[in-house]
Structure 1
């Protein structure tokens, strides 16, 4: 942090979908919340000079670069925000932490448990010098999800029995959709499992306070080969087909899952089932979580993100039924700084809330959450699901047990 101006000077690596969402949050957070430090959008980094220059101007960054190592080396950068594909997370984050920069890294933390472990170890070592880190699971910052957690923690639904979570999309339904990086294991780590399944793993663990202990999983890839994107002739590792005259489009192998389903046992005694797919026809971003307890139930649906469904089984039978809670009151999480009651917020606000919590923690010298250790545990759960799907049997999730750095 720049003590002279009480600023947090941010350098962001990556400027596409997540980069745009994070940029909106950095632009907005000090205009909405009264925070002890101000964010300065110092520099954005990308591989293509013309594209990153255009992104810097459009998204509100003061400068741009094509070299993330140079970005990390700059004296006027306090925070490195990583919004790149998963294959580069570990290298960038570990280098940034070693350079004394605070790090915000998008989920999933890495492409493998080994990489995530290295990142968590580096974060633990850097913490001793006051350098902080956080993984970006934005859905836990949706006010209704945070309120859901409060209701569970307050005992309003009693002992948790069942957890039910789905994340449904359909954006690769067309078999002619191109082989983008999210469909390549070396770049993305996994498919629907890591891309959207990671979100519902983190969200349910956040809400319940229970972690996944054992899993029994199933994965499927429905479309095995896809057309190569325009200008990707260098993608040869999984490529096949095609002809010089273009009569047949060149294709490549899809090396990740299209859908992942698994049952789980949680360490607090609850049982759970999860489904993540990008082949749910008609579903664009259908994230839903339901928690059933001994005294009630609570449910959240992102397509109605300003609402919760709450069932109180302690009420007289004649008065029972699911209550619709409109989560827009100023006493609800995060909402005191926004609009009058009844005026809903949107997807982008979850990133603003994430930035708020991150800035507040850094200014106070606290550890923001979820930590890299928390994200490592999610990575271990993802790996256990993949292993279970391969073996066809239950697999125990290795627990993330932080150890003191050497």
Structure 2
């Protein structure tokens, strides 16, 4: 297993499309912005399509490429295995990597099922490797600052947490039947793809969820057979169609251990919303709002402001006092989506260097997976489900 005192950390990435691009960018830019104890060395990228993975290797800056992940897992010159493949492959790769003594990074949601998530968690714990589940929105500076305000008691006891994650990229009924729309590959639709982020933010900011009740709906039942191309784009057949087996939209209520009242919505049919990931938290002393489409800002309200001056104020979280921002530009010179992955990887590598498990980790991944499962079960059974 990797030694904690070495100056370089050697990375193998399994997969190379949307999230592969985000992760490889983070590895390349991390040492430029942060004084890191371990410098990433991009050893190998893996993909089934040789032409595609070779192009990715050259573009993303990896030393080599491979078409069989099993060969990579056994290599002596790999310290970290980063899994950015579809959800149904996470468990097998992550468990094999852990058993080979590699630290493991897995895109969210952690697995296809709760059972797989628990097996993954057991494997990394048994083998003493560090582990990361990529809930990157925790590491937006504004979200980190919101957490600080909450922990300092600035908004007092929290009454409400409400989250919406709204996209519209599959509104067109001719958008192809890609892996994200197949239950046996993705596990769920809007729920696991984007709702999982809202669940993780809720747990990070407010605490554990104890009970949920939900509804789910699929608007387009059949689509042309197709595949992802880049980002959230896809191409499909002109004639052949297949069944959509996941939700297009989900809404649920949640109760928290703290007594907080939670409301959640996730949909990929919110016309006009490209990536509207937002939350509002209402407490006895104030409130906090955040929206990913304006990710550098939070809005805060304090109940004890003088009468006539009360209202939400906008804070641009780019001052050096705000988390991570001192590594970048002068105040007001905003950062972007890609930097959330830099912060995520920075924390993880610091944890490896200091022999400390950081978060969000596989424990968070399992807990989020249990909530995803409960939300789906509630929709199917039309009742409240307790989170155990």
Q: TM-score, normalised by structure 1?
A: 0.91
State the alpha-carbon separation in 2 of the partners of residues 271 and 319 from structure 1: 28
Unaligned runs of 5+ in 1: 232-245, 399-406
Specify the SS of the correspondent of 1:223: coil
Report what 1:136 is aligned to. Answer: 134
Give runs of aligned pairs for residues 148-227 of structure 1, distance below 5 A: 148-208=146-206, 210-227=207-224
CA contact (8 A) 2:176 2:226 kept: yes
Query: Deviation at 1:303?
Result: 1.1
Report whether the alignment pairs 1:9 with 2:10.
Answer: yes
Give runs of aligned pairs for residues 104-123 of structure 1, distance below 5 A: 104-123=105-124
CA deviation profile, 1:96-138 (whole Å, cap 9, x unmatched)? 00000000111000010010011111122122xxx11111100
State the alpha-carbon separation in 2 of the partners of residues 254 and 78 from structure 1: 38
CA contact (8 A) 1:385 1:395 kept: yes
How many residue pairs match? The answer is 379
Specify the SS of the correspondent of 2:274: coil
Query: Deviation at 1:316?
Result: 2.0
Report what 1:237 is aligned to. Answer: none
State the alpha-carbon separation in 2 of the partners of residues 358 and 255 from structure 1: 35
State the alpha-carbon separation in 1 of the partners of residues 143 and 165 from structure 2: 15
State the alpha-carbon separation in 2 of the partners of residues 144 and 291 from structure 1: 14
Query: Deviation at 1:372?
Result: 0.6
Report what 2:56 is aligned to. Answer: 55
State the alpha-carbon separation in 1 of the partners of residues 240 and 193 from structure 2: 26
Report whether the alignment pairs 1:311 with 2:311.
Answer: no
Report what 2:266 is aligned to. Answer: 276
State the alpha-carbon separation in 2 of the partners of residues 42 and 317 from structure 1: 60
Specify the SS of the correspondent of 1:250: strand
State the alpha-carbon separation in 2 of the partners of residues 336 and 125 from structure 1: 38
Please give the root-mean-square deviation of Cα atoms over the aligned residues, in Å.
1.4
Report what 1:258 is aligned to. Answer: 248
Report what 1:328 is aligned to. Answer: 318
Query: Deviation at 1:319?
Result: 2.1
Specify the SS of the correspondent of 1:333: coil
CA contact (8 A) 2:5 2:353 kept: no
CA deviation profile, 1:327-350 (whole Å, cap 9, x unmatched)? 001110111110000000010000
Give runs of aligned pairs for residues 35-54 of structure 1, distance below 5 A: 35-54=36-55
State the alpha-carbon separation in 1 of the partners of residues 103 and 318 from structure 2: 32
Give runs of aligned pairs for residues 208-247 of structure 1, distance below 5 A: 208=206, 210-229=207-226
Report what 2:35 is aligned to. Answer: 34
- Taking a change above 3 Å as real, the CA distance of residues 391 and 6 of structure 1, as seen in their structure-2 partners, is same
Unaligned runs of 5+ in 2: 229-236
CA deviation profile, 1:178-229 (whole Å, cap 9, x unmatched)? 1000000010000000000000100121112x11110010000000000112
**Segments of 4+ moved more than 4 angstroms:** 2-5
